[in-house]
Amino acid sequence: MGTTWTVVSPIVFTYQVTESQDLLDPANNTLLLGHITDAQQLEDIKKSNKPIKRFVVVDQEVHRIYGAKLTEYMEANNVQFKILALPTTEENKSMEMALKILEEVNSFSLDRRTEPIIAIGGGVCLDIVGLAASLYRRRTPYIRVPTTLLSYVDASVGAKTGVNFANCKNKLGAYIPPVAAFLDLTFIQTVPRRHISNGLAEMLKMALMKHRGLFELLEKHGRVLLDTKLQGASHVTRIAITTMLEELAPNLWEDDLNRLVDFGHLISPALEMKVLPSLLHGEAVNIDMSYMVYVSKESGLVTEEEKQRIISCMVGLELPVWHEDFTMELIQRSLQDRLKHSGGLVRMPLPVGLGQAEIFNNTSCEILHRAYEKWCDELSITSGNSCDP
Ligand SMILES: NC(=O)c1ccc[n+]([C@@H]2O[C@H](COP(=O)([O-])OP(=O)(O)OC[C@H]3O[C@@H](n4cnc5c(N)ncnc54)[C@H](O)[C@@H]3O)[C@@H](O)[C@H]2O)c1
Ligand SMILES: [Zn+2]
């Protein structure tokens, strides 16, 4: 008989998600010091004459628009800095890109305890930098600054990092949260309209699962939100983030497999990878949600009128509601895969009325097929020829 030692070592992560205006205003020190919550530590840093040192990774397009302002900000605050601008697109969301960042971080030589790496960009940039930081010296702190709507309401608030691998979305990654996420809605002003819709899809997900009021806001004011790129609509993003955090925070490591935030994410990862780069993440999620609303209707969980309202809202947000590559075969394959990785249960979140949901494990094949046929009949753009049961 050998000896067994049991090690129990709970890890507590505390981080802030902070909305701040004009993060790049030289007078605003949030970006440099906002992650420090200990008053004494903050005082000491402010008193010491030691310059602050920061490594910043920025999405290339964001750098094109905001690079000069960022450099000015760093210089005005006497920061020793390196800005690395990279084409952090979905096709480049790879370990190679993470390694490239790590090589640069390594030559910059930062203090792993006190000098967090800053990531400024969309979800792809935040996910890759988060993973790179988690690997560097086993865990280097990092800060997220989302610049797309999708990353503002979703990718910036949780703990997940990752890159695509073996043709699968986010197959390599870690659950290591940032030390802080700083949210500035003014970045969203320059986001292309299609990417605003993309972010609205993740907001609609939370609305359908948990918040009827948010659904009604998106239903009534979707067009205005798109036109104004949510400038002045922080009350709307605030509901979305609060609702998202209510779900994420108690289950940061995703130990509980029953997750409402998985709505729209059962079939969409396979679709997204299959047609890359033609569909954006939120677009693929919306197509998945649209089909699932039909599953809800066929299961008697939403009425025909509620179904119509949800689909009209999606169309109003200029999101795709159907796709020819979203086939019955893809649905079945994805659900089987889900069974394998989800403890033998499908755990399918479905809307039950508007703004409420439940998780179902025994939706029959017959319902899935019937929903698919109706979905194709009613929503396929090329009338009635693309159904592939
Ligand atoms: N970690 C998580 O919890 C989580 C959650 C949701 C999504 N994600 C990931 O996020 C990714 C999608 O994120 P995304 O939609 O932000 O895509 P993205 O990072 O590819 O950004 C979209 C495009 O917008 C451009 N851009 C970014 N900010 C801009 C700005 N302010 N002005 C003009 N252009 C700008 C970028 O150059 C890019 O071309 C996916 O890979 C997804 O897996 C992660
Ligand atoms: Zn998502």
State the closest ligand 1 atom to the C-alpha of 130, by its place in the atom list counted from 1.
1
CB distance 121 to ligand 1 below 6 Å: yes
CB atoms within 10 A of CB 379: 18
Å from CA of 283 to ligand 1 middle? 12
Q: Which ligand is nearest to the CA of 94?
A: 1
Residues of the chain with CATH 3.40.50.1970: 16-190
Q: Tell me what the mean pLDDT of segment 5-29 comes to.
A: 94
Q: What is the pLDDT of residues 113-168, one digit of tens each?
A: 899 999 999 999 999 999 999 999 999 999 999 999 999 999 999 999 999 999 88
Residue 197 has a pLDDT of 98
Å from CA of 161 to ligand 2 middle? 13
CB distance 197 to ligand 1 below 6 Å: no
Is it the case that residue 388 has pLDDT exceeding 60? no
Q: What is the pLDDT of residues 301-334, one digit of tens each?
A: 999 999 999 999 999 999 999 999 999 999 999 9
Task: Calculate the CA dihedral of residues 323, 121, 222, 194 and round it to 10 degrees.
Answer: -40
Å from CA of 247 to ligand 2 middle? 14
Is it the case that residue 384 has pLDDT exceeding 50? no
CATH node for 196-220+257-379: 1.20.1090.10
128's tokens: 């890759």
State the closest ligand 1 atom to the C-alpha of 190, by its place in the atom list counted from 1.
32
Q: What is the pLDDT of residues 58-67, one digit of tens each?
A: 999 999 999 9
CB atoms within 10 A of CB 197: 25
Q: Tell me what the mean pLDDT of segment 14-32 comes to.
A: 95
46, 50, 160, 220: which is the annotated catalytic residue? Answer: 160
Choosing from 127, 193, 197, 248 the residue with most ligand 1 atoms within 8 A of its CB, the one to mutate for a pocket test is 127
Residues of the chain with CATH 1.20.1090.10: 196-220+257-379
Choosing from 88, 94, 131, 148 the residue with most ligand 1 atoms within 8 A of its CB, the one to mutate for a pocket test is 148
CB distance 151 to ligand 1 below 6 Å: yes
Ligand 1: which residue has its CA nearest to atom 25?
A: 61
Å from CA of 153 to ligand 1 middle? 11
Ligand 1: which residue has its CA nearest to atom 39?
A: 89
Q: Report residue 360's pLDDT band, with 50, 70 and 90 as the boundaries.
A: very high
Question: Which helix or strand (DSSP H or E) is residue 73 part of?
Answer: helix 60-76
Q: Which ligand is nearest to the CA of 191?
A: 1
Is it the case that residue 95 has pLDDT exceeding 90? yes
- 261 close to 244: Cβ distance less than 8 angstroms: yes
For the chain, the average pLDDT equals 95
Considering only CA atoms, which of 35, 74, 38 is closest in space to residue 54? 74
Å from CA of 149 to ligand 1 middle? 8
φ/ψ of residue 35, rounded to 5:
-85, -10
Which class would CATH give 16-190?
A: alpha beta
Å from CA of 301 to ligand 2 middle? 23
CB distance 127 to ligand 1 below 6 Å: yes
Q: What DSSP character marks residue 359? A: E
Ligand 1: which residue has its CA nearest to atom 20?
A: 89
d(CA 383, CA 312): 18
Of 46-55, 239-248, 360-369, the one with minimum mean pLDDT is 46-55
Question: Is 160 among the catalytic positions?
Answer: yes
CB atoms within 10 A of CB 51: 11
Ligand 1: which residue has its CA nearest to atom 9?
A: 123
